[in-house]
Amino acid sequence: MALARGATRALLRRDFATAARITRWLAWLTADGVPLPVDAALLTDDIMLRGGGDRCLLDAAISRRLLGLDSV
C-alpha cells in the first residue's frame, strides 16, 4: 500500500524518475501475484509516455518486462 501511494504521489508531482523506480517494485510484486490497489501496467505506460531520461525509461522497460507486456 505504501509503495502504491508513493508511486501515485511521485506521478502527481511529476517526479518520473522516482515513480519509475517505485513502479518497478510494484511490477515485481504484481509478477509474484501480490494484489495491489493500483494497476502497475497503467503506471508504467504513463511513465513511458510522459517521463524522460534514460534511467526512467530503463526502469519502465524493466517494469513492462516483469508485467509481461513486452515479449522477448
**So what's the pLDDT on residue 72?**
61
The Cα–Cα gap between 47 and 41 comes to 10
Question: Of 40, 36, 1, which Cα lies nearest the Cα of 19?
Answer: 40
Number of separate helices (H) and strands (E) present in the chain = 4, 0
Verdict on whether the full-model pTM lies above 0.85: yes
Question: Of 27, 49, 63, 55, which Cα lies nearest the Cα of 4?
Answer: 27
State which amino acid sits at residue 26. L
Domain boundaries, the chain: 2-67
For 33-66, write each residue's pLDDT tens digit. 999 999 999 999 999 999 878 999 999 999 999 9
